């Protein structure tokens, strides 16, 4: 009975996910020529990747990061500089951005892992602030203004030289972002269900007990940092090719770190798909309700506060927990409990 219910549930969730995915695949057909909306969905996918990457490190492994813009920015700048100055295709420079972000994570995380809890979070926050200033000081951007990389017109030829887009066709960019997001989601769902994911969760729940169970906590934490950094770096890299420019304000702002956290918390930490829902919710409200000005962001944060107060686990995590109770309440003696779920 228990397993039967669990299997039914698996089918229902699979159906819901497939319907949502079907809708997302049809977006360019449903809103032909609506560049603004298609762009908004591209941003939603980028933020989904960022939020999932945060969820792996913070939701699953318990290493709360306040500075995911660190990875996002390293990926963004790496890809922007390589593609603009070496002329490489974004299809190569985006993964390289991820690799650089991953290495950046390794560099910062390895010494920081002896710290736990709020101290580790502070290290991530300060790292993000540090790289922001570094980029500004180095004046990496060819225009020299505060490290921004913008389009330059070559005076001799009159050619406008920008960070290249992934594709000139906005629909192709859309499918690239959606495809990447879906592949990463599938990868992460397999990862967290594997024994590696189990080790991550053991470390989150009780690091000392995990060590007592024979788990090399440091090794698994570094792995979590590197995978999370890689994915956030990919998100940042896609972002610069979408915007065709990079600047500290665009890809290194602390707001980005906060937005990743808000999206994950809204959807439910430790669920992978919850942060995707949270990111879509956040970006769609932020972009589609622009006529309401700053009020829309205020509204998002009020909703976030209400969710934190009443559904602290996040929306998807709460649904999952209730369904778990429903699966268990198989005894016909308790019809109310079954009916409620």
| Contact footprint for other proteins (CB under 8 A) | 2-3, 195-196, 198-199, 201-202, 204-206, 208-219, 223, 270, 324, 327-328
CB of 6 to other proteins, least distance (A): 8
Closer CB to other proteins, 88 or 326, in the complex: 326
Closer CB to other proteins, 125 or 196, in the complex: 196
Q: How many Cα atoms occupy the beta-carbon half-sphere of 10 within 13 Å?
A: 6
For 304, other C-beta atoms within 10 Å of its C-beta total 18
Closer CB to other proteins, 129 or 223, in the complex: 223
Distant-in-sequence, close-in-space partners of 133: CB < 8 Å, separation ≥ 6: none
Closer CB to other proteins, 107 or 213, in the complex: 213
CB of 74 to other proteins, least distance (A): 24
CB of 77 to other proteins, least distance (A): 29
Residue 314 and residue 271 in contact, taking contact as beta carbons nearer than 8 Å: yes
Tell which residue, 224, 187, 243, has the closest CA to residue 68: 224
The enclosing H or E element of 152 equals: strand 152-153
240 CA to centre of own chain: 15
Closer CB to other proteins, 193 or 340, in the complex: 193
CB of 66 to other proteins, least distance (A): 22
78 CA to centre of own chain: 18
CB of 269 to other proteins, least distance (A): 11
Residue 98 and residue 242 in contact, taking contact as beta carbons nearer than 8 Å: no
DSSP state of 59: I
CB of 261 to other proteins, least distance (A): 19
Instruction: Give the chain's end-to-end CA distance (angstroms, integer).
Output: 16
CB of 290 to other proteins, least distance (A): 39
DSSP per residue, 20-57: HHHHHHHHHHHTTT-HHHHHHHHHHHHHHHHHHHHIII
Closer CB to other proteins, 82 or 215, in the complex: 215
How far apart CA 74 and CA 58 sit, in angstroms, is 19
Closer CB to other proteins, 146 or 205, in the complex: 205
For 262, other C-beta atoms within 10 Å of its C-beta total 23
């Amino acid at each position: 009975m228990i397993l039967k219910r669990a299997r039914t549930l698996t089918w229902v969730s699979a159906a819901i996910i497939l319907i949502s995915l079907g809708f997302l695949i049809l977006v360019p057909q449903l809103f032909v020529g609506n560049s603004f909306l298609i762009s908004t969905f591209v941003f939603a996918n980028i933020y989904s990747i960022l939020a999932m990457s945060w969820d792996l490190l913070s939701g699953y492994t318990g290493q709360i990061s306040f500075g995911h813009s660190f990875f996002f920015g390293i990926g963004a700048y790496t890809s922007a500089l390589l593609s603009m100055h070496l002329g490489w295709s974004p299809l190569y420079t985006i993964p390289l951005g991820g690799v650089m972000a991953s290495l950046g994570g390794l560099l910062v995380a390895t010494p920081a892992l002896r710290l736990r809890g709020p101290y580790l979070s502070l290290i991530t926050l300060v790292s993000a602030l540090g790289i922001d200033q570094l980029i500004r000081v180095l004046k990496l951007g060819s225009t020299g203004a505060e490290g921004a990389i913008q389009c330059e017109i070559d005076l001799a030829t009159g050619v406008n030289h920008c960070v290249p887009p992934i594709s000139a066709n906005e629909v192709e960019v859309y499918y690239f972002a959606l495809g990447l997001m879906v592949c990463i989601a599938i990868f992460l769902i397999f990862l967290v269900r594997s024994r590696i994911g189990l080790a991550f969760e053991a470390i989150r729940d009780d690091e000392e007990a995990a060590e007592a169970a024979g788990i090399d906590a440091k090794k698994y934490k570094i792995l979590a940092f590197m995978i999370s950094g890689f994915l956030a770096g990919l998100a940042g890299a896609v972002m610069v090719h979408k915007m065709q420019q990079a600047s500290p304000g665009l890809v290194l702002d602390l707001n980005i770190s906060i937005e990743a956290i808000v999206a994950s918390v809204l959807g439910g930490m430790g669920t992978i798909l919850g942060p995707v829902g949270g990111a879509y919710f956040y970006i769609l409200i932020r972009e589609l309700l622009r006529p309401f000005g700053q009020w829309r962001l205020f509204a998002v944060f009020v909703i976030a506060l209400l969710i934190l107060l009443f559904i602290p686990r996040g929306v998807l995590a709460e649904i999952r927990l209730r369904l778990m109770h429903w699966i268990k309440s198989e005894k016909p003696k308790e019809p109310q409990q079954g009916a409620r779920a």
